[in-house]
Amino acid sequence: MPEQKSTGRRAAFVTGASYGIGEATALALARDGFDVAVSATRLENLSTVVTKLEAIGTRVAPVALDLRAQSSIEQATAQVISALGRVDVLVNNAGVTLRRLALEITAAEWDAVIQTNLTGTFFMTQQVARHLVESGRPGCVINIASTHGLVGLATRSAYGISKAAIIHMTRMLAIEWADHGIRVNAIAPGRVETGSPARAASLADPKYREAMLNRVPLHRFCTSEEVAGAACYLASPLAATITGQTLILDGGLTSY
Ligand X SMILES: NC(=O)c1ccc[n+]([C@@H]2O[C@H](COP(=O)([O-])OP(=O)(O)OC[C@H]3O[C@@H](n4cnc5c(N)ncnc54)[C@H](OP(=O)(O)O)[C@@H]3O)[C@@H](O)[C@H]2O)c1
Provide the total of helices (H) and of strands (E) in the chain, helices listed first. 9, 9
Contact 38, 17 (CB under 8 A): yes
Q: Active-site residue 159, yes or no?
A: yes
Looking at the Cβ atoms of 138 and 160, the one nearer to ligand X is 160
Nearest-angstrom CA–CA distance, 34 and 61: 12
| Comparison of 150 and 182: residue with beta carbon closer to ligand X | 150
CA 52 to chain CA mean position, Å:
19
* Alpha helices in the chain, H assignment, sequence order: 20-31, 47-56, 70-84, 107-114, 121-135, 157-177, 197-204, 206-214, 224-235
* C-alpha neighbours within 13 Å on the C-beta side of residue 53: 31
Q: Which is nearer to ligand X, 134 or 210 (CB)?
A: 210
As to burial, measured by CB atoms within 10 angstroms (0-12 exposed, 13-18 middle, 19+ buried), residue 106 is: exposed
57: left (phi over 0), alpha (psi -120 to 50) or beta: left
Output 4 or 202, the one with its CB closest to ligand X.
202
Beta-bridged to residue 8, according to DSSP, are none
Q: For ligand X, which is the closer residue by CB, 34 or 221?
A: 221
Q: How far is the CB of 94 from ligand X (least distance, A)?
A: 3
Q: Is 19 exposed, middle or buried (0-12, 13-18, 19+ CB in 10 A)?
A: buried
Q: How far is the CB of 106 from ligand X (least distance, A)?
A: 17
C-beta of 67: minimal distance to ligand X in Å? Answer: 4
Q: Minimal distance in Å, beta carbon 92 to ligand X?
A: 8
Q: Which is nearer to ligand X, 6 or 70 (CB)?
A: 70
Name the site residues for ligand X (rule: CB under 6 A): 15-22, 40-42, 45, 65-68, 93-97, 116, 144, 146, 189, 191-192, 194, 196, 198-199
Catalytic residue among 159, 208, 233, 256: 159
In angstroms, the CA 226 to CA 106 distance is 34
Distance of closest approach, residue 1 Cβ to ligand X, in angstroms: 31
Query: What's the min distance (Å) between Cβ of 109 and ligand X?
Result: 13
Separation between Cα atoms, residue 195 and residue 89, nearest integer Å: 25
The SS3 of residue 98 is coil
The residues that are catalytic are: 159
